[in-house]
Structure 1
């Protein structure tokens, strides 16, 4: 019986090698919340989340002062009950934001621990659809000083040369004419048959502004336009979905099944990008994916391919995992001891128990320190 004995928590502050921009913000470092949950039998599960470009200590406080005590001494197999207890404990401090991300990290660690305890890789423990690989799109196309439209095209073409049949780039920072030049360069570089995704990172304020961009971009046949507006502006997402031929994708920073159901009820998303390290962990992600299936909506989870690859493998209505092949933007990759590989545009799943990797303790020590709750 796997009883939870202790929890370790760390905030790792990892600087970017190059200052990197999105449609409306610039990032110089990333703060990651890391946890290790250990059972009395000595089995250890790991979890993690992205806190943001500042404020990582909020994560540590949430784990140490709010959530850890809920788990210590409890059986790790009671995942649904433990999730509900953590959520109830956090009602006043944060049903979204950093506290929910802390719940997410701890929940991921519980699933990792439980899968390890029975000796199964996570995707098989969950009940797999895909056993060996899952389809992926290569993500990039960020704004870096001096990076031209032609260089974005070259970057997208480099992913295709690696075998990817779908790629994603950022959009929304330049004016409509400039963004059209970037998308045009990408489409010409990758050819007509590779799927091209666009990510706006909440860059537009209303549908009038959005259509100034999308009317120019529609001829290049994007697979989706991601996060055109702020996450809580569900009505604008729904209106835009009626105005453009480009499918709208969103919900990467959506919290909980109730938000996602409202988004689906209003027609605000053709594709959900729900992130297990944001929405409430694997437990809540599975619920949301099941709700989406009832609406005939695909799930293409955001970020952290290390946890999302096994989830996509275990979810019939999940189409793609977002894959970052280097550590220049998703520099979380520097903190783990084993990377996912890819072949022919598909991510190769780990076959060892649990998530299939651990933290690289030498690297983690460069950016943060562990503290223990028991």
Structure 2
């Protein structure tokens, strides 16, 4: 039995302290989608300590998330039994009632929750997949990027890297440029993407809520013509009626959910019949604890779930649910995670194998020298 495991001498490990820091990493080229452009991305890393063991979690968001973690959450978690992660998650949610949970605070809770799960698995000396219980050993991924800010050569090079060099058989590009006002270029880029990847690879598009309802429906036949099978956020993910109307009108699967900060959000989306596949992001929804609940909720509705971004966090939980479709291998986050952490995964052949190395927890180790160079808070 591992030292400090439940039942050994009545000793129960507790959280000693918690640390948080923000690291901002410039993009390798200007990135953009239908509604936003950006030149850097900030990751907030949480480390939770119990004795000599440290659990790691993170989220993507504003540097101010660090202050929320330190001021609102650290005291709630410190001293708690390491084994009871759901209890800690519940306590954090109750503690921020008046501070306002959705958004930045939910992301803070998500990072701490994930770090607690990682800590628990490390204390038990098992990969997180072993702790959660795996349904599969391989998790399918799709290459995600194809930013609206890319020129034709950049888009082609990225798509061919995924399909030809890494053997990933499904890829996604961004469309809806300038809030849907450049639909002609969207169409050109969709056709070019199909040319780049050939006829057999799956092609996905993501409008990031940039289109109107009728515009998205008008685009449907063009997507079908080019074999697009995934139409992500054709309109705002808050427009559940619009999503359901578009879903009924197009052949591509309509998907959304990445901005779900609470479990009821996912319930409302599923009850409305708004999506063919639910997307959930554990760096936003409340961490691993809530992501697993969202997956179960989707399964109860006969719907699959897809992990949104932060691929090295999602890989382990993705392996643990029966109704998984795939995991987003998002260019921006893959690049950052490979820069800041040792122990990252290889998507060769279109799948990753979380836990295959037998490293405990998430299998990630913070690269101290690399992170110090980009620390902002």
Please report the TM-score for the alignment, with normalisation by the length of structure 2. Answer: 0.91
Note if 1:56 corresponds to 2:75. no
CA distance in 2, matches of 1:214, 1:152: 22
Note if 1:199 corresponds to 2:210. no
Which residue number corresponds to residue 353 of structure 2? Answer: 348
Partner residue of 1:47 out of 36, 49, 57? 57
Which residue number corresponds to residue 230 of structure 2? Answer: 224
SS of the equivalent of 2:366 reads coil
Which residue number corresponds to residue 274 of structure 1? Answer: 280
Confirm or deny: 8 A CA contact 2:311 2:333 kept in the other structure: no
CA distance in 2, matches of 1:176, 1:328: 27
Note if 1:73 corresponds to 2:84. no
Confirm or deny: 8 A CA contact 1:200 1:227 kept in the other structure: yes
Partner residue of 1:295 out of 301, 304, 321? 301
SS of the equivalent of 1:300 reads strand
Which residue number corresponds to residue 188 of structure 1? Answer: 195
CA distance in 2, matches of 1:128, 1:166: 23
Please report the TM-score for the alignment, with normalisation by the length of structure 1. Answer: 0.92
User: Using a 3 Å threshold, how does the CA distance of structure 1 residues 357 and 341 change in structure 2: closer, same or farther?
Assistant: same
User: Using a 3 Å threshold, how does the CA distance of structure 1 residues 323 and 329 change in structure 2: closer, same or farther?
Assistant: closer
Comparing 345-354 with 107-116, greater Cα deviation is found at 345-354
SS of the equivalent of 1:84 reads helix
Which residue number corresponds to residue 167 of structure 1? Answer: 171
SS of the equivalent of 1:201 reads coil
Confirm or deny: 8 A CA contact 1:176 1:212 kept in the other structure: no
SS of the equivalent of 1:37 reads strand
User: Using a 3 Å threshold, how does the CA distance of structure 1 residues 10 and 365 change in structure 2: closer, same or farther?
Assistant: same
Comparing 161-170 with 189-198, greater Cα deviation is found at 189-198
Per the TM alignment, residue 276 of structure 1 is displaced from its structure 2 partner at its CA by 0.6
CA distance in 2, matches of 1:215, 1:207: 14
Which residue number corresponds to residue 262 of structure 1? Answer: 268
Which residue number corresponds to residue 156 of structure 1? Answer: 159
Which residue number corresponds to residue 138 of structure 1? Answer: 143
Per the TM alignment, residue 348 of structure 1 is displaced from its structure 2 partner at its CA by 2.8
Per the TM alignment, residue 334 of structure 1 is displaced from its structure 2 partner at its CA by 1.7
CA distance in 2, matches of 1:18, 1:329: 14
Q: Per-residue displacement from partner, 1:2-60 (whole Å, max 9, x unpaired)?
A: 20000001011222232211112110111211110001x32110110001xxx412x01
CA distance in 1, matches of 2:68, 2:114: 16
User: Using a 3 Å threshold, how does the CA distance of structure 1 residues 42 and 272 change in structure 2: closer, same or farther?
Assistant: same
Per the TM alignment, residue 158 of structure 1 is displaced from its structure 2 partner at its CA by 2.7
Per the TM alignment, residue 223 of structure 1 is displaced from its structure 2 partner at its CA by 2.0
Note if 1:25 corresponds to 2:31. no
User: Using a 3 Å threshold, how does the CA distance of structure 1 residues 56 and 328 change in structure 2: closer, same or farther?
Assistant: closer
Per the TM alignment, residue 329 of structure 1 is displaced from its structure 2 partner at its CA by 7.2
SS of the equivalent of 1:273 reads strand
Which residue number corresponds to residue 358 of structure 1? Answer: 365
CA distance in 2, matches of 1:113, 1:291: 26
Per the TM alignment, residue 64 of structure 1 is displaced from its structure 2 partner at its CA by 1.1
Partner residue of 1:100 out of 82, 88, 106? 106
SS of the equivalent of 1:367 reads coil
Structure 2 gap ranges (5+): 1-11
SS of the equivalent of 1:213 reads helix
User: Using a 3 Å threshold, how does the CA distance of structure 1 residues 19 and 295 change in structure 2: closer, same or farther?
Assistant: same
Which residue number corresponds to residue 131 of structure 2? Answer: 125
CA distance in 1, matches of 2:346, 2:98: 41
Q: Per-residue displacement from partner, 1:337-373 (whole Å, max 9, x unpaired)?
A: 2221123111132321100012111111112267xxx
Confirm or deny: 8 A CA contact 1:153 1:187 kept in the other structure: no
